[in-house]
Chain A
Amino acid sequence: MLRRLNYCQLLRFRAQNLDLDLHTLKRKWGSSYRALSSQTAALGEEDLGREQTIQQYDQLYPGHISTTAFQKTLLAVGSGIACMINPARDDMICALGETTGPIALRYMHRKMLADPEGRQILEEKPVINTDTVDVDYLGTLPEGTFGKEYWYFLEENHFSPDARRPVNFIDDPDLVYVMLRYRQCHDLTHTLLGMPPNMLGEVAVKWFEAIQTGLPMCITAALFGPLRLGPKHRQKYRNVYLQWAVRSALKSKFLLNVYFEKHWATDITELRNQLNLEPAPVQLKKSGKNTKTK
Chain B
Amino acid sequence: MAAPLSRSMFGSLNTCYRCSSKPNKGLKFVRNIYFQTANYQRETFETPSSTKDAEKETHFGFQSVAEEEKEHKVYEVFENVASSYDVMNDAMSAGIHRLWKDAFVEKFSPSPGTKLLDVAGGTGDIAFRFLKYVGTPTFGHPGDDFQMPRDVTAQVYLDPAEASSSSSSSSSDEENGHKSEQAKDGNYATQPDTMGNHVTVCDINQAMLDVGKKRAKALGYTTGLSWVRGNAECLPLPDSSFDAYTIAFGIRNCTHVQEVLNDAYRLLKPGGRFMCLEFSEVKNPLLRSAYDTYSFQVIPVMGQLIAGDWKSYQYLVESIRQFPNQEDFAAMIKSAGFRMVTFQNLTFGVAAIHSGYKI
Q: Footprint of B on A, CB under 8 Å?
A: 23-24, 26-27, 50-55, 57, 65, 68, 70-71, 74-75, 78-79, 82, 89, 91-92, 95, 168
Q: List 10 A-B contacts (CB under 8 A).
A: A26-B62, A50-B321, A55-B318, A57-B311, A65-B310, A70-B297, A71-B301, A78-B305, A91-B308, A95-B305
Number of A-B contacts (CB under 8 A): 51
Q: Footprint of A on B, CB under 8 Å?
A: 57, 59, 61-64, 292, 296-298, 300-302, 304-305, 308, 310-311, 314, 318, 321
Contact B318 A23 (CB under 8 A): no
A79 to B64, CA, bound (A): 31
- Residues from chain B with Cβ under 8 Å of A57 in the complex: 311
A71 to B64, CA, bound (A): 25
Known: A23-B64, A24-B64. A52 touches B301 (CB 8 A): no
- Residues from chain A with Cβ under 8 Å of B63 in the complex: 23, 27
A70 to B302, CA, bound (A): 13
B163 to chain A, nearest CB (A): 46
A27 to B57, CA, bound (A): 13
Most A CB within 10 A of own CB, among B297, B310, B318: B310
With A24-B64, A52-B62 known, 8 other A-B pairs at CB within 8 A are A51-B292, A53-B296, A71-B300, A75-B304, A78-B301, A78-B302, A79-B305, A95-B305
- Residues from chain B with Cβ under 8 Å of A68 in the complex: 297
Contact B318 A74 (CB under 8 A): no
Contact B301 A54 (CB under 8 A): no
Contact A71 B321 (CB under 8 A): no
Closest A-chain residue to B296, C-beta based? A53
- Residues from chain B with Cβ under 8 Å of A65 in the complex: 310-311
Contact A92 B305 (CB under 8 A): yes
B358 to chain A, nearest CB (A): 32
- Residues from chain A with Cβ under 8 Å of B61 in the complex: 55
7 nearest CB pairs, A to B:
A23-B64, A78-B305, A74-B301, A53-B296, A55-B314, A91-B308, A75-B301
A79 to B303, CA, bound (A): 12
Known: A57-B311, A70-B297. A95 touches B304 (CB 8 A): yes
- Residues from chain A with Cβ under 8 Å of B308 in the complex: 89, 91
